[in-house]
A = this chain, B = another copy of it.
């Protein structure tokens, strides 16, 4: 299994804190500081950064500066700069800012889609099909993030074939990638293995991403299960930023530094140095005004050495 065969295998780590994290913050984060944050992430070795969301400023005031952030960040040519887009209007705004990739979103479960997007899944599908058509002549990659793939906090288990049917519809519409999202931390390793295996079999040409939350502590275990099925692309959020409205106080997204630390130790090539991440993450609590669930920020890297008791520090 993959535990023994990492052997320098290339993995793609995609940072979602500037979008999935910041959108949940009650206190508005200054535009200049958002830009400085993304600029520091740009040199960390990520494959992709989800920068912002071109939604209505009324719906998500935290990201009302989407245009300015997207236009003013420094672009590293090795990084894909993505933005979430809910509709044709959002796609136009994103195209005006020359995003590399647009990320569409809808839920695998009907109740969550209605709760989160105020639309039925059929309405979401139609709306997102319009978005895809509207950018079909642009040079932009299109990814769709499917929420509640591993369980819905309102409905419970979600039939994987509902998920695959949605993915197939989007594949037919021409999306390049699909992200399977564990929106509220309901995924568990054997389920992840099963769904990842089936998804790879059904969609060999789609770029598959797994997006875990650590709500119930299983984000890294689920990553292991996905790796074992050949998944090589993961969303994560610096500091574990990002929450879940259904579990106040609980951990949010899979924490990038915890994830990268584990993967690097196992011999994967993430392209990211944990030191860089810890350095950027150290400013996050001040930036967002609260503590974060990151383990590594508290404990330090595995390679950290402590002096033996009684030993004297060298002068």
Contact = CB atoms under 8 A, between A and B. Distances in A.
A190 interface: yes
Contacts of A218: 220, 258, 262
A249 B295 CA distance: 9
Given A302-B151, A305-B156, A308-B115, A267 B190 contact: yes
A189 B154 contact: no
Interface residues of A, number: 57
A150 to B, nearest CB: 9
A4 B216 CA distance: 21
A307 B186 CA distance: 16
Interface stretch (A73-81, A126-134, A165-173, A221-229): A221-229
A115 B311 CA distance: 10
A302 B115 contact: no
A274 B250 CA distance: 18
B6 A190 contact: yes
Contacts of A190: 3-4, 6, 265-267
Given A188-B265, A302-B216, A193 B154 contact: no
A137 interface: no
Contacts of A250: 295, 298-299
A8 interface: no
Contacts of A228: 1, 3
Interface in A34-67: none
B111 A300 contact: no
Nearest to A219: B217
A255 interface: yes
A215 interface: yes
Contacts of A174: none
Contacts of A193: 3-4
A93 interface: no
Interface in A295-315: 295-296, 298-300, 302-309
A214 interface: yes
Nearest to A187: B302
A255 B261 CA distance: 21
A286 to B, nearest CB: 17
A153 B261 CA distance: 16
A160 to B, nearest CB: 15
Given A6-B190, A191-B265, A266-B188, A258 B217 contact: yes
Given A214-B295, A221-B262, 10 more contacts: A114-B308, A185-B302, A188-B265, A188-B266, A189-B224, A215-B299, A216-B295, A217-B295, A221-B224, A224-B225
Interface of A: 1, 3-4, 6, 111, 114-115, 151, 153-154, 156, 185-186, 188-191, 193-194, 214-221, 223-225, 228, 244, 246-247, 249-251, 255, 258, 261-262, 265-267, 295-296, 298-300, 302-309
